[in-house]
A = this chain, B = another copy of it.
Amino acid sequence: MASLGEEAVRNKQVILRDYVCGFPKESDMHVTTTTTTANLKVPQASNAVLLKNLYLSCDPSQRTRMTNYQSSTYFLHARQSEDMAGVAKVLDSGHPNFKKGDLVRGITGWEEYSLITPPATETLTKIEPTDVPLSYYIGILGMPCLIAYAGFYELVGQFAKLMGCYVAGSAGSKEKVDLLKKKLGLDDAFNYKEEPDLNAALKSYFPLGIDAYFENVGGKMLDAVLLNMRTGGLIAVCGMISQYNCLHKPEGVHNLLHLIVKRICIEGFLVHDYDHLYPKFLEWVLPQIKEGKIIYVEDIAEGLESAPTAIVGLFTGHNVGKQVVVVARE
């Protein structure tokens, strides 16, 4: 946590004990302290970057990296404290793109200090100073919002750009539904976990059918959406949170025949394919935040120790707003 002299530095870490099976539990992780990052310096003649982590992101997609999948390059295992999106300060750098004192966003470790070596340094991007909170760079200015931007502007742009389009949201708790309707200004919203008949619910919210659906739930929700899509509709698939904790295989989706009937296009995408859009996205989103046109809500967990609870909470619907873990404020 702090320098103990020239050679030894304590580094608190959250470690996965093993691959996770089913819903993650706090006991799947433990908080430990190592002294492996010597002296807060990068090794001599290396092109690595030593980071002090400030804000770490909790995203449902992290769950997919905790499973022992085979035959997929995306589902890398995360038995070590790695692969967390975060905002950090550069303490030392042998890399030409970064210098001491820089603030960066990118993939870092679930720990206080991270030594990032190439090629992982390619995920790091220097943050240019703005007057919005730094933690925003793992939320509204980070991956979760870039994916929404890419999803709507690249894939279903014609709909999102229609200023008067009707938008109904779906969330997993009453509190979140209230947030969507009362604070975020959606036309309507419902709790997908409590609707006894999702098909009937969607029919009532979309009596004319759904033109575009931003898929992050999967399973029964996707089945109900397929029944309610309009001809020529588009489904952008960015996540399927309901499926990440399945013990055996993911739930079956039964209504794919509607793809033919309604000439639906379903397209999956990964945000990193759209990294090139980030500057354009930032240019668009920053004024919207400053002018209050986009409302952003964070759910802050204090301290690295709170990380296991925070990530477990994602899958029980505990968080309201973007889940952030504060490791250090500067």
Q: Which chain A residues numbered 179 to 218 have a C-beta less than 8 Å away from chain B?
A: 218
Q: Which B residues are in CB contact (< 8 Å) with A264?
A: 267-268
Give the size category of A's interface with B: 35 or more
For A231, the closest partner residue in chain B by CB is B73
Contact B250 A257 (CB under 8 A): yes
Chain A residues within CB distance 8 Å of chain B: 64, 71-75, 218, 222, 227, 237-240, 243, 249-270, 273
Contact A266 B259 (CB under 8 A): yes
Q: Distance in Å from the Cβ of A216 to the closest Cβ of chain B? A: 10
- Listed by A's residue number, 22 A-B pairs whose Cβ atoms lie within 8 Å are A64-B257, A72-B258, A72-B261, A73-B261, A74-B260, A218-B257, A237-B256, A238-B260, A240-B257, A243-B257, A250-B254, A250-B257, A252-B253, A252-B254, A253-B254, A258-B268, A259-B266, A259-B268, A261-B270, A263-B273, A264-B268, A265-B266
Q: Which B residues are in CB contact (< 8 Å) with A218?
A: 256-257
Contact B253 A237 (CB under 8 A): no
For A249, the closest partner residue in chain B by CB is B254
Q: Bound complex: CA of A229 vs CA of B238, how far in Å? A: 18
Which of A71, A222, A250 has its CB near the most chain B CB atoms (within 10 A)?
A250
Q: Bound complex: CA of A218 vs CA of B252, how far in Å? A: 12
For A246, the closest partner residue in chain B by CB is B254
